[in-house]
């Protein structure tokens, strides 16, 4: 029927005068109607085809976001139950108040040690904290941490107040190995200390300064006998009153490259 109307619309018009004009108008209306009908049929067919394609396509599933590593706070509120006062002999008082750990000035070393070794990783992790010397002139931060089956201590402010480095590397302490560095530390000023342990590497920063970039493969890593009791994780100071806060431990995901400290 549709094609018959189209054929009629395009056939010659034999009328003349006014009747010819009326015939032309009538055929123009018929032609327009036919074109509109064709367009509607085309749209209907396209819609049906799209609906069929859509029905056959599998539903896309949302991509799960990769879970990020979360930092674990190690100094919280006034709760020191996860730590124990280290029995060095001659140590002073230890307190935790509002997240600030205070180590008094003893006759030698004063410190605390983490109780549960199973919760401390031995590789692919970071430890960061803030520390300051309140009183005294020797190291105000001795941070002992694990590397594989061994442990090592990062000393900050030793030997008269300025030495920094790892003790021990190949049985050489911080003043005798390549991690030795000297900095100026002001009493009462907070310094951010950051340690990163990965396979074959130990890195350390104080504030934005990258002071240790040690390749460990083939090296002997150990602690001095004086701080054996700080294992697996410990903080101490020597003949100095010191404070610590914002201590966090972060496990690194495989292949993760943490950003440099700002």
CA distance 238 to 36: 94
The pLDDT assigned to 63 comes to: 39
- pLDDT values of the chain reduced to their tens digit, one per residue, 262 residues: 444 444 444 444 444 444 444 544 445 445 455 444 544 445 454 555 444 544 444 444 443 343 447 899 999 999 999 999 999 999 999 999 999 999 999 999 999 999 999 999 999 999 999 999 999 999 999 999 999 999 999 999 998 899 999 999 999 999 999 999 999 999 999 999 999 999 999 999 999 999 999 999 999 999 999 999 999 999 999 999 999 999 999 999 755 555 554 4
Between the alpha carbon of residue 63 and those of residues 58, 60, 66, 83, the distances in Å are: 15, 9, 9, 41
What does the block give as tokens for 129?
């904290």
Q: Among 230, 158, 156, 155, which residue's Cα sits nearest to residue 190? A: 156
Query: What is the Cα gyration radius of the chain?
Result: 39
Class of domain 72-251: mainly beta
Sign of CA dihedral 19, 21, 22, 24: positive
> Taking phi first (over 0 means left), then psi (-120 to 50 degrees means alpha), and beta for anything else, what does residue 188 get?
left
Taking only the tens place, the pLDDT of each residue in 170-188 is 999 999 999 999 999 999 9
The pLDDT assigned to 186 comes to: 97
The pLDDT assigned to 57 comes to: 46
Taking only the tens place, the pLDDT of each residue in 184-210 is 999 999 999 999 999 999 999 999 999
The pLDDT assigned to 70 comes to: 85
The pLDDT assigned to 254 comes to: 58
For the chain, give every domain's residue range: 2-56, 72-251
- b (16+ CB within 10 A) / e for 71-86: eeebbeeeebeebeeb
The pLDDT assigned to 24 comes to: 42
What does the block give as tokens for 1?
């029927």
Please tell me whether the overall predicted TM-score, pTM, comes out greater than 0.75 for this model: no
Task: Report the length, in residues, of the chain.
Answer: 262
The pLDDT assigned to 197 comes to: 98
């Amino acid at each position: 029927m549709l094609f018959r109307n189209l054929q009629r619309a395009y056939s010659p018009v034999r009328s003349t005068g006014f009747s010819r004009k009326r015939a032309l108008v009538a055929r123009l209306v018929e032609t327009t109607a036919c074109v509109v009908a064709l367009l509607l049929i085309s749209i209907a067919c396209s819609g049906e085809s799209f609906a069929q394609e859509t029905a056959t396509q599998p539903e896309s599933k949302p991509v799960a976001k990769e879970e990020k590593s979360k930092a674990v706070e190690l100094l919280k509120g006034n709760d020191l139950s996860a730590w124990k006062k280290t029995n060095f002999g001659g140590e002073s008082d230890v307190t935790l108040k509002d997240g600030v750990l205070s180590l008094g000035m003893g006759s030698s070393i004063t410190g605390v040690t983490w109780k549960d070794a199973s919760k401390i990783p031995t590789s692919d992790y970071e430890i960061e904290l803030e520390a300051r010397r309140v009183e005294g002139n020797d190291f105000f931060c001795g941070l002992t941490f694990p590397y594989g089956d061994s442990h090592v201590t990062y000393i900050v402010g030793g030997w008269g107040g300025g030495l920094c480095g790892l003790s021990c590397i190949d049985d050489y302490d911080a003043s005798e190995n390549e991690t030795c560095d000297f900095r100026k530390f002001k009493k009462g000023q907070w310094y951010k200390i950051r340690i990163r342990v990965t396979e074959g590497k130990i890195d350390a920063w104080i504030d934005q300064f990258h002071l240790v970039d040690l390749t460990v493969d083939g090296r002997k890593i150990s602690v001095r006998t004086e701080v054996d009791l700080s294992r697996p994780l410990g903080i101490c100071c020597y003949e100095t009153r010191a404070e610590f806060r914002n201590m966090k431990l972060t496990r690194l995901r495989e292949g993760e490259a943490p950003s440099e400290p700002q």
